[in-house]
Chains A and B, each alone.
Chain A
Amino acid sequence: MEIKAAVLVFPGTNGERDAYFALQRNNFSVDYIWHDFDKSLEYDLICLPGGASFGDYLRPGAFAKHSEVTKSVEKYVSKNRGLVIGIGNGFQVLTEAGILPGALALNESNSFICKYVLVEITNFETPFTNSIISDEKIFKFPIACRYGRYEVNEKDINENQIVLKYVQNPNGSYENIAGIVNKDMNVFGTMLHIERAAHPLFGYGENNPIFESIRRFLSRE
């Protein structure tokens, strides 16, 4: 069964080719969708990649939430048509649009941080993690962001929405949170550049654990 993924591209997005490469390697069929797309998104997976949509001016994601395609994503989510992931800037867009709770603030260091971090998967009961075939709970992924400090009011998030936690907090994120899902568990956002874990040459396995889990989940349905 062919699983169709869309990678959204806003002006200023720069991680679209990375997401494309990673998804393709994990056996998705992938299309790019430009930000003015206002029709219904007929895909199994929507990926909002990293970068600096609209130059990150004002606030990261502040302009992208007004794009037509973001409204299409909102409908897609409420209809529960498929899964959505936001990586880096994509996560920021999803929180700005209110699709995911919380916000991403300037790193504690006040500067951009690019490095590898270790994270623990704290909830294996989501579509994004429930088919990970590994006994490991700890994974290594890169981060690369300036606004990566996750902030959220305690009442706005349930414990089971927290999917990933930093082993060592790199940017001051609340409760070491590195990745979350929405209440319906069909939208996932993370500051980890999971799409860069795409090839053995970069020091990873053949398949990406999270994309693999998504694919298994979608092909089971």
Chain B
Amino acid sequence: MNNSMNILQLALNLGLSNLEYNLIVERLGREPNEFEIYLFSAQWSEHCGYKHSKYYLKKLNTSFESENAGYVEIGDKVVVFKVESHNHPSAVEPYQGAATGIGGIVRDILAMGARPLALLNSLKFGELTKPKVNKIFKGVVSGISGYGNTIGIPTIAGEISFHDTYNNNPLTNVMCIGVADKNKLMSSRADGPDKLMVYVGSKTGPDGVHGASFASKEFGKEESIERPSIQVGDPFAEKNLIEASLEIMQIKAVKACQDMGAAGILSSTSEMAYKGNLGCELYLDKIPIRQEDIKPWEIMLSESQERMLFLIEKGSEEQIKKICDKYTIEFSVIGKTIKTPSYRVLEKEEGKVLADLPIEILVNAPEYYRNNTVPSSYYINRGRKIPEVEGSIDSVLKKLLGHPTLGSKRWVYEQYDYQVGTNTLIVPGDADSSAMWLKGTQKAIAVTIDSNELYTYLDPYEGTKNVVYEAARNLISIGAKPLAITDNLNFGNPENNEVSWQFERTIEGLISASVELCTPVVSGNVSFYNSYNDVSIYPTPVIGMVGEIEDVDKLLNMKFKSVDDEIYLIGKQQINVEKIGGSLFLYIIKDFIGGEMDTVNPLREIQLNKFILELIDNRVVKSVHDVSKGGILFAVVESCICSDFGFEGYIGSNVEELFGENQGMFIVSVSPTDSSKLEELAKSKNIEFRKLGKVVRKEKGINIGIENFDFNVLSNIYFNCIPKILEDHLC
């Protein structure tokens, strides 16, 4: 076999296609060498190259890959945020997968020059009763706890759901929020030639080599061989890296910063130079390595954790090294930017050249676009008749409260330090979203993360819109004005028509919701190939949303406050039982997904949101909770349970009205003296409302007229839901 056959074979083994290999040869005008093909295999992987998503993402946000994260301004501060997934690693090694997921997103925020202040997560697991899922669930939670708590960043909110579509493909999406002073943001773009590329952080080992291409493949039967692709996290090193980086970025001679994430040194250096229309030269002997027998290409592709790349002016080395010494982390000048737009890797300065590539060829992976057709499953699902639900309201309610998707997540969040940093104004379990105080001001940042795989599977376009509006409602409920979005798009195999169509429709839904709500998508991430043996997960766009609270003293939660307060349903009044497709109770009780789903009415939603904010601003209402998964009754019961109060009133008469999901509804409580004010305001704004009942002592139970539930019984089911399942299915 001749040499070029060998290189081609290597390219194919590394996950590049025949077509892509030919493209490389054509663009370079020559055969790449072995070392170079390793570089291409990582840089052109789906994970780094966004091959199947670029075409669509450009419609979403024209500058989608320009910086490490997006931001909004609140007062004189800049709030930086982004969500990122670590799905594949979490499936294989749940603890490390989740831990390094946190490490990665924290460094993205850090690279922008912001101190990471809070974490959120959206976790998806299969059926918790399955031993494999059980193990993944516990591993992911303890990984977040172990890493997040140790680096001292609070995990303040999140969402978790359980569905059999995730049995073999759990999703771990982590969002991080950081704050910087205005004008203090750091760029990832090289600003000129002859500046030094500086490596800061832990040493490089062979861990996580091929991580990027690993995350760009489906899981099949021989998954055990993937284990070396998993990175291992060291939270102590991360904590030191955070403090060191923040100190380093105070120095004027520091010009750019980029974290070493997927495809490590390779992608961080190449992208930093390319964004500045420059090239760069790297000296492999200068890279701090953990073991001598590591191969040159392994150094380039390694995803060893806790490393950052800085671009600095010559002459400032000593100053930066001193900071690294203080925090006992590595410091090394590993290369420099050059005027020629080439990506050059040398064994050592003036030594053997291992790679010399035009940088724009290396960085620009091909772009794939499919002409998607609507899959038949879409019509079939919609056409399915919503089944009758037998059984009493009592038994349905108890099943919902005992389902881990709806039951309390206390078992999980008590393992997260949600208060360190003392900015957390709303603790988990108290409201629809959380809030971080900007100390020294009256303002706070409101944050939420949300998704609904049933909606987005049934109709990716309308489902995604519903999820975005739901995220906005979460923020509205605590009194925050929604500002911007970050998204994590978790999908199956993009080479499959159905998945590709789902992706396209999701993006379109995201665009229209974000335009309607004036909340731009400022950062995001795509995770494809969440599939197992050719079965893809339900499309799962996860929406992180950030809002602004003007006055922390007006912050609200969903807890009822005092006996005799009146409870109102604001917004849509009559559940359209023809349009309860995608409701969670149908899945839990009947294992049913299908039928018509309710869709948002943008104009009415925006009016409603404005109205709720006005109520909060004028201190008319004492609690707000939006109606979502589990319907109106579940929302009322949840407010009761978490505030230790009962309820007396009437909500509806049948299962569909009580548990069915429609869009655009809030539950508020108001003191009896203010109820007429509330009604007048609503009438004047043309907002529909209905009094559902009032708050009573919990000893009186939760009485909905047609049924009276014992408070303690419901509360026990709700809070013991996850511990009980874990106990019943010990493994």
Contact = CB atoms under 8 A, between A and B. Distances in A.
Interface in A68-114: 111-114
Contacts of A144: 149, 417, 419-420
Interface of B: 142, 145-146, 149-152, 234-237, 239-240, 326-328, 413-422, 424-425, 437, 439, 552
Closest 4 CB pairs of A and B: A14-B152, A55-B236, A144-B417, A52-B150
Given A15-B152, A18-B420, A113-B415, 12 more contacts: A11-B327, A12-B150, A12-B236, A52-B150, A55-B239, A113-B414, A114-B415, A114-B417, A114-B418, A142-B419, A144-B419, A201-B437
B415 A54 contact: no
A21 to B, nearest CB: 6
A14 B419 CA distance: 12
Contact of B422 (A52, A111, A112, A198): A198
A14 B152 CA distance: 5
Contacts, number: 83
Interface in A1-38: 11-12, 14-15, 17-18, 21-22, 34
A196 B417 contact: no
A15 B420 contact: yes
A202 B420 CA distance: 12
A220 interface: no
Nearest to B146: A112
Contacts of B237: 55
A50 B328 CA distance: 21
Given A21-B422, A202-B422, A114 B416 contact: yes
Contacts of B239: 11-12, 14, 52, 55
Nearest to B416: A114
12 contacts: A12-B150, A15-B152, A18-B420, A34-B326, A51-B152, A52-B150, A55-B234, A55-B239, A56-B236, A112-B416, A199-B422, A201-B552
B236 A112 contact: no
A168 to B, nearest CB: 14
A149 interface: no
A56 B328 CA distance: 16
Nearest to A36: B326
Given A14-B152, A113-B414, A196 B422 contact: yes
A215 interface: no
Nearest to B243: A11
A111 B421 contact: no
B244 to A, nearest CB: 10
Interface in A149-203: 193, 195-196, 198-199, 201-202
Contacts of A14: 150-152, 239, 420
A112 B328 contact: no
Contacts of B328: 11
B414 A11 contact: no
Interface string A108-124: 00011111000000000
B720 to A, nearest CB: 15
A17 B242 CA distance: 15
A196 B417 CA distance: 12
B96 to A, nearest CB: 15
Contacts of A196: 419, 422
A196 B437 CA distance: 14
A115 B412 CA distance: 12
Contacts of A22: 422
Q: Which of B326, B327, B415 has the most CB of A within 10 A?
A: B415
B416 A193 contact: no
A112 B419 CA distance: 13
B143 to A, nearest CB: 12
Contacts of B422: 17-18, 21-22, 195-196, 198-199, 202
B145 A54 contact: no
A127 B72 CA distance: 47
Contacts of B151: 14
Nearest to A22: B422
Given A15-B152, A21-B422, A113-B414, A52 B145 contact: no
A156 to B, nearest CB: 30
B439 A54 contact: no
Contacts of A115: 414
Nearest to A200: B553
A112 B417 contact: yes
Contacts of B414: 112-115
Contacts of A202: 422, 424-425
Contacts of B419: 114, 142, 144, 193, 196
A15 B422 CA distance: 9
A104 to B, nearest CB: 15
Contacts of A114: 149, 413-419
A148 B254 CA distance: 42
A142 B235 CA distance: 23
Contacts of A12: 150, 236, 239-240
A56 B421 contact: no
Nearest to A63: B236
B273 to A, nearest CB: 33
Given A11-B240, A52-B239, A55-B235, A111 B425 contact: no
Contacts of B416: 112, 114
Nearest to B437: A201
A112 B145 CA distance: 7
B145 A11 contact: no
A54 B236 CA distance: 6
A65 B327 CA distance: 18
A179 to B, nearest CB: 18
A201 B551 CA distance: 12
Which one of B234, B417, B425, B552 has the highest number of Cβ atoms from chain A below 10 Å of its Cβ?
Answer: B417
A111 B726 CA distance: 15
A144 B422 CA distance: 12
Given A11-B327, A201-B437, A201-B552, A55 B150 contact: yes
Contacts of B413: 114
Given A52-B150, A55-B150, A113-B415, A17 B234 contact: no
B7 to A, nearest CB: 43
B194 to A, nearest CB: 34
Contacts of A11: 236, 239-240, 327-328
A152 to B, nearest CB: 25
A111 B145 contact: yes
Contacts of A52: 149-150, 152, 235-236, 239
Contacts of A50: 420
Contact of A111 (B142, B240, B418): B142
A114 B144 CA distance: 13
A111 B413 CA distance: 12
Contacts of B236: 11-12, 52, 54-57
